[in-house]
Structure 1
Amino acid sequence: MMQRFSNPVLMKELKLRFRAFKSFSGLMFYLFLLFIFVGGFLSVFTQFTGTGFFRPSESFIMFSVISVLQMALVMFITPGLTAGAISSERERQTLNILLTTTQSSTQIIIGKLLSSIAFLILLLVAGLPLYSIVFLFGGVSPTQLITIFLSYLLTVVAIGSIGIMFSTITKKTIVSMIATYGAMIFLGAVTAFLFFVGFSLDRMPTSPVGGFSTNSPITFFWASINPGALMLTVLYPELGTELSNLTGISMPNWVVYIIFYSLITVVCLWIAIRKLRANMKHSR
């Protein structure tokens, strides 16, 4: 029974990744930078107040800044960890050997995905003690912390699936990485630009008496799939209410975010699984 759910590809990739010295040196460097940021933030704000106290409002500002930086970290590092998962095997000419084993395409793709994002998840989990120092000063609820980390997890899996898909359907790692980073630019920057364009168009008069469009599902959609917008609405719920008022859509934006990124994950993994062995036949 256990052998049915075992994944030798995942176990092999995890051992190779976490036995490397650069993995632990990278983790140490990340925690060191996070420690410097938190310590510097605390010292600067206590000096500004002149009382040696750290107010809950200032604690929430620190939490918000770290949350946004963590999301940026997720979107920047994940493509580099996943975009070469399959294409690198093809470039080393070891993919055909891997495909001749008893492992199914699903096991190979899922194993590569989980092993690629495992290090990033380790970074997020390892930073929890420093991340949760805000609870000492108040201003942040445990629900917000849990919600933000669940959004991190969903985003990591979705971006990792995009990287795995491009790594499977392209032959070169550099092409796969460029395509994955292009998708991240679209999700992070282009959607924000399209939201502001749609918002500006919606504010234009639509009638001779100067009326405005109040129902803007497309504009709401662009804002809902943007990771930065999700962070802001989770941290500041009043922004989510304002977004609903501006677009005329009462649905919470995080519902659209979950549906969209879940669909992205399923579709990308399905394409990667279907194209894995098809590429081998085509290369022959």
Structure 2
Amino acid sequence: MFVAASTRVLAAGKHNGALARQLRLMSSINQNNSNNSLSPSQKRKEERRKFHSTSRRDQADAAEAKTEEQAPVATAESSGMLNRFIVTAEVTVSKIFPAGFGWQSSSILAENTLGYSPETMSFAMTTGLGDAVGVLGGHMLYYTAKKSAVDSSINLTAELHTGILLASAAFCSGTAWQPLVNALQGANLSFNEVFLGTWAGCGLAFYGGLRVGRTILSGYLTHVHEPTYENSKNDASLSVAIGGATGFFVGTDAAYLPEQNFLIKAVGIADGTPDLTGCAIAGSSTALGFVSAQSALNVVYPAKKCWND
């Protein structure tokens, strides 16, 4: 009985398999007959429908893949822009404000204590030295505090070498500032012309100081790179922003064409201003100029092309 039942099940299975094959064959035949029954114009329409359907799927897949590729790029660009402004803020606090403060402090020392006239080279070099001391001192104070409070991995030796390089360039631009302003004002130029001329002249002086500093200091300081084409581009973009700081510093002179001085209300140092207050205003003027110039560079420069990338 068991054998007979098995035989019937096997026979039924074979019958069902044969029936399924017949159904598939009939379906294929019916589909072919349906396609064959279409007129030539209907066949072309059907082919176009299939083609456009496939094209739309391909386009959708391509768009999705492109979106997935662009998402990390957009995130990286956003992160890079944010990092630029963070570095800008750090440099402003650690070096640019101290530079203006140091220049103004040394000008008071040079004129009131040492008796140097603002027209002399002794005055210019004293103020340049004050500028450099402000940069180096502010840089080291900031990064020493940051290492202690936030980031223990900071290499203070490397920061010292960087600070010395930047201070050497600041000495050049700080020394050039007073003689350059004297010459431009002596030519009876407008405030804006003095402003722009100082921006360009001191920016070039800072750039020259960086290049000479790299040439000399790279032989003695391991963390100062020798001059190359690549770091020349970074030095140039930084020097443009430094030029902006020195240009805004012109606004502290409240005596020269005050009606044209668009910065006088913000950073003008009038006669009778207390020395310490004047130094703070001077630092604020360089900070304002640097932030203004560097913010424009942050927005305009392509990714990984600016000095603060």
The TM-score normalised by the length of structure 1 is 0.31
Looking at both structures, which has the greater relative contact order when contacts are Cα pairs under 8 Å and sequence separation is at least 6?
1
TM-score, scaled relative to structure 2: 0.29
The structure whose Rg is larger is: 2
